[in-house]
Every structure is written in C-alpha cells, then in structure tokens.
C-alpha cells in the first residue's frame, strides 16, 4: 500500500511539471489565441542552462532560474514581436494557426539543434545535494523537489490569476481576449499585450524546465515531448482554462505513475495517449471546458 501511495505522490510531482507546461500554453492560447510550439524547447534550454551553471560554477539552480526568468521573458517578448506579430491579424481561414505553429516549431527545432551542438544527446543529470533527499512520513518518502514543484505550481497558478484579475496588464489582456478590435479601439496596445503575455508564458516554461532538470534526466529531444504533453494538458483541461490545464497535468502525471507501477514504464506514454483518444470520443471539448 505504501508503494502505491508513494507512486501517486511521485505522479503528482511530475504532473506538476506537465501542469506548468499546460499553463504556459493555456495562457497564450486560451487568452490570445496564439499557438506556440516552442515552450517545451524553451523549458529544456532553461534546464540545460541551470545544469551548465551548476556543473561549471556550482551555482544553485534555483538562483540560476531567478536570473533566467527575465532573460526568457525577453526571449518570449522577442519571439512574439519579431516572428509572430505578422500573423496576429490573420483570420483562421487564412491559416493563422498553421503559420504560428510552423514558425514556433521551426524556432523550437533550432533551439533543439543548438542544444545538440552544445550539450550533445547524452542524458544529463544534475547532481544537486538535495536531489535524493526526502521527507519521511511513516514508510512513505516524498522527495523535497516534488513538494517544491507542487507548491511552486500552485503559487504560479495563483500568481497568474491575480495578474489577470488585478493588474492593468491582466485587464487589458482579458479585454484583448474578449474582442481584439474593441480593445485596440480603447487604446490597448494589442501587440504589446501579446508580447508581454508570451514573455510570461516563457517564464512559466523556465520554471517547468527547472523542476524537470531537478527530477529527471535531460536530453534535447525531451523538449518536443514536453511541448506535446503541455498541449495534451491544455486539451484535456478544456482548451484554455488555466486551472483546468493544471488539474489535467496532474492527472497525466498520475496516469503515467500508475502505468509504471502496475504495468511497464516504457508504456506510460502509450496509456496516456490512448486515454486522450478515449477522452476525445467521450468528451471532445475537454474535461473542464465551460459548456457553450
């Protein structure tokens, strides 16, 4: 029994990372209909930078992440203003989503290629001292990192919600999400709102990457994997609901953990995607979508 509880807790830990990835997509897709496919690669880039600074200079990864946040905010801002801006005014029939997906995906491939060049395809493990330290509760051992991931995920969720509800940026963002043209007519700089939101989404990706590198082994190809897991969380959570994608991420983590526990770790993705297909048959709009 203890083993199962242990597994479930581990699942919540990795689920928190998927939830964060999902949140970073849900924020830009749900609110602004920007379709990005590079956040997973940004995460892994951040993970590698944390790894690098730790192995070369023994910098605490959490500190590196704090430094990386503004940097990645700028990267996100830059990607939106330089690459995605010209697709924002396009209608869907003109291939708006296709173009966005392809550009961001192209950037993602380039980031991945860069990682291959700098760090090769070897699986990297960051040897921080607290990696294996655990909190013991009876016969259950919960890794510190998992607890941290979960707490940080909740903090990010609350933070993003506060940002949306309380700040001027959040209010303009919601205005743009409701009606782009009216928002622009009332003096909101639409492109800037988009760019800032993309930046925030990139920062969330950094946080997900930080915890990924603390809990798992990193290789460049994981970026695409994280991207798709994040999008899965968005779909399961109901296309753009922020809380929904977090919950969906945790469910995904649990499904993976349970598959590894009862069956084969190699088949966890298989079960996950088959589950997604079943969900699409039963409830195509996702678990937590507001019914229209």
Partner 1 sequence: MKNNKLRPYIIAGLIAIAAYMVLLFGSDGGYLSNFIVYVCLFIIASQGWNLLGGYVGEISFGHAVFWGIGAYTVGLPIGYDLNISPLLLAFAGAAVAALFAWIISYPLLRVRGFPFLVGTYGLGVVFEKVFVASPKLFATKGVFVANDLNRFFLHGMIFVLMIVVTVGVKWLTDKDLGLRFKAVRDVPEAAEMVGVNIYHTKTAALVIGAFLCGLAGGLYVLYSGFINPTTAFDSSVSISILMGPYIGGIGTVLGTVFGTSIVIAIQEWARSALPFTGGQHMALGLLLIIIMMVSREGLFPGLRKLALKLSGKTKDKTKEKKAA
Query: Which residues contact partner 1 (rule: CB under 8 A)?
Result: 29, 35, 83, 86-87, 93, 95, 97-99, 101-103, 105-110, 112-117, 120-121, 220, 224, 228, 231-232, 234-235, 239, 264, 266-267, 269-270, 272-274, 276-278, 280-281, 284-285
Q: Closest distance between partner 1 and the C-beta of residue 106, in Å?
A: 3
Q: Closest distance between partner 1 and the C-beta of residue 260, in Å?
A: 13
- CA count, 13 A, side-chain hemisphere, 142: 16
- Residue 107 or 208: which CB sits closer to partner 1? 107
- Residue 67 or 271: which CB sits closer to partner 1? 271
CA distance 262 to 4: 9
Q: Closest distance between partner 1 and the C-beta of residue 285, in Å?
A: 8
Instruction: For the beta carbon of residue 56, count every other beta carbon within 10 angstroms.
Output: 8
Contact (Cβ atoms closer than 8 angstroms) between residue 12 and residue 150: yes
Q: Closest distance between partner 1 and the C-beta of residue 189, in Å?
A: 22
Contact (Cβ atoms closer than 8 angstroms) between residue 90 and residue 77: no
Report in angstroms the alpha-carbon separations of 153 from 66, 173, 208, 232, 250: 15, 22, 9, 17, 11
* DSSP per-residue letters across 114-164: HHHHHH-S--B----GGGG-EEEETTEEEEHHHHHHHHHHHHHHHHHHHHH
- Residue 77 or 150: which CB sits closer to partner 1? 77
- Residue 127 or 265: which CB sits closer to partner 1? 265
Q: Closest distance between partner 1 and the C-beta of residue 229, in Å?
A: 9
Alpha helices in the chain (DSSP H): 2-32, 39-57, 61-79, 96-119, 144-166, 168-178, 180-185, 190-215, 222-237, 242-262, 268-282
Q: Closest distance between partner 1 and the C-beta of residue 74, in Å?
A: 19
- Residue 101 or 141: which CB sits closer to partner 1? 101
- Residue 98 or 189: which CB sits closer to partner 1? 98
């Amino acid at each position: 029994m203890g083993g199962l509880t242990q597994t479930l807790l581990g699942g919540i830990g990795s689920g928190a990372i998927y939830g964060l990835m999902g949140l970073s997509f849900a924020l830009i897709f749900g609110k602004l209909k920007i379709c990005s496919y590079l956040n997973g690669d940004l995460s892994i880039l951040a993970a590698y930078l944390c790894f690098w600074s730790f192995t070369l200079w023994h910098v605490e990864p959490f500190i590196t992440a704090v430094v990386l946040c503004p940097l990645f905010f700028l990267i996100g801002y830059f990607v939106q203003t330089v690459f995605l801006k010209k697709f924002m005014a396009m209608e869907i029939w003109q291939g708006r989503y296709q173009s966005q997906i392809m550009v961001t995906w192209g950037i993602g491939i380039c980031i991945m290629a860069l990682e291959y060049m700098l760090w090769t395809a070897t699986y990297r493990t960051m040897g921080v001292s607290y990696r294996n330290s655990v909190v013991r509760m009876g016969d259950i051992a919960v890794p510190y990192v998992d607890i941290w991931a979960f707490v940080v995920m909740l903090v990010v969720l609350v933070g993003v919600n506060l940002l949306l509800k309380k700040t001027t940026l959040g209010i303009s963002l919601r205005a743009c999400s409701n009606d782009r043209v009216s928002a622009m007519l009332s003096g909101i700089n639409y492109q800037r709102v988009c760019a800032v939101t993309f930046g925030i989404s990139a920062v969330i990706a950094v946080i997900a990457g930080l915890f990924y590198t603390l809990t798992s082994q990193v290789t460049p190809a994981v970026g695409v994997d994280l991207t798709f897991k994040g999008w899965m969380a968005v779909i399961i959570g109901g296309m753009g609901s922020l809380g929904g994608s977090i919950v969906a991420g945790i469910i995904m983590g649990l499904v993976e953990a349970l598959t590894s526990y009862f069956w084969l770790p190699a088949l966890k993705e298989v079960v996950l995607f088959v589950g997604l297909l079943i969900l699409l048959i039963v409830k195509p709009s996702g678990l937590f979508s507001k019914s229209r």
